[in-house]
Homo-oligomer: A and B are copies of this chain.
Amino acid sequence: MANNTFTGWMTHTQQTVECTLEALLPNPARAPQMLHEAMRYSTLQGGKRVRPLLAFAAGELAGADAANVARVACAVEMIHAYSLVHDDMPCMDDDVLRRGKPTCHVQYDEATALLVGDALQTLAFDVLASPLAGVDAARQLAMVKLLAHASGHAGMAGGQAIDLSSVGTALNQPELEFMHMLKTGALIRAAVLLGAYCGQVLSDAENSALDHFAKRMGLAFQVVDDVLDCEADTATLGKTAGKDAANDKPTYVSLMGLGEAKQFARDLYDDALAALAPFGDRADRLKQLADYIVARSF
């Protein structure tokens, strides 16, 4: 395996995540079969696994055990997958296409999609609460709390609530940033920190530096997403393109224009990378990954 190249590492990590999700998701031969099958449908073979990749890269920085990082990364990915299933439902974004496939409520039905999201969220906490070899229980309890905080009313779900209530209103940049910090930023930050928490204990200064990187990357990721949603077509994106503009949802592009939004993504990226300087080459993977995530929009 050409794991020394970034693309080799990325492919290998994505495969590890896929295998680990395979093993952690419920057996589709067991009752309730349709729920189990739909949980697998909504989680496997999907997306670039950006959050797990961030967890693995941060785990490398902290010298973490890969098997532990894999479980933590999958817990974060399950939260992400649950949020996509619920966000796609008719009462939310009402989307029919996700990752190039029919969305869960289209493939199955709405009641199943509701339960799939619910059960994926629960499974994330089930996985994260299963003892990790060599990780102190008190630390792991703090990891569960971190994921909960990032996912709930003060994180992802809260951001989604603000997003829903902002349709058709003119958010200014601080309001848009607050929304995105919760909606996507909190879980991206959690992915980075949870990956690192699987490894050696970092100093307060190192934790702060990593946290700053994670927060800037979380925001950059959303700005890039807005840029791509404006530029790309549906086939490339694997989901319905131009939907935010059509729904009159505020985006960085609608707020600052395409050119400025691209520059803003680049500034955030520069700021994020500067925070990694104290780690030296231990942060190489994280830097390459930041490059990959933001370079999508250049």
Residues of A within 8 A of B (CB): 26, 31-32, 34-36, 39, 82, 86, 89, 91-92, 109-112, 114-115, 117-119, 121-123, 125-126, 129-131, 136-138, 140-142, 144-145, 148-149, 151-154, 157-158, 160-162, 164-165, 178
User: Which residues on the B side are within 8 Å of A92 (C-beta)?
Assistant: 111, 114
Q: List 10 A-B contacts (CB under 8 A).
A: A26-B153, A26-B154, A39-B153, A86-B115, A91-B114, A115-B161, A115-B164, A122-B151, A122-B152, A126-B148
User: Which residues on the B side are within 8 Å of A149 (C-beta)?
Assistant: 126
Q: Is the CB of A158 within 8 A of B118?
A: no
Contact pick for A161, options B35, B117, B152, CB 8 Å: B35
Contact pick for A140, options B125, B141, B151, B152, CB 8 Å: B141
Contact pick for A118, options B86, B91, B136, CB 8 Å: B86
How many monomers of this protein are in the complex? 2
Given contacts A126-B149, A126-B152, A136-B137, 7 further A-B contacts (CB under 8 A): A36-B153, A39-B153, A91-B110, A111-B164, A114-B114, A118-B118, A118-B157
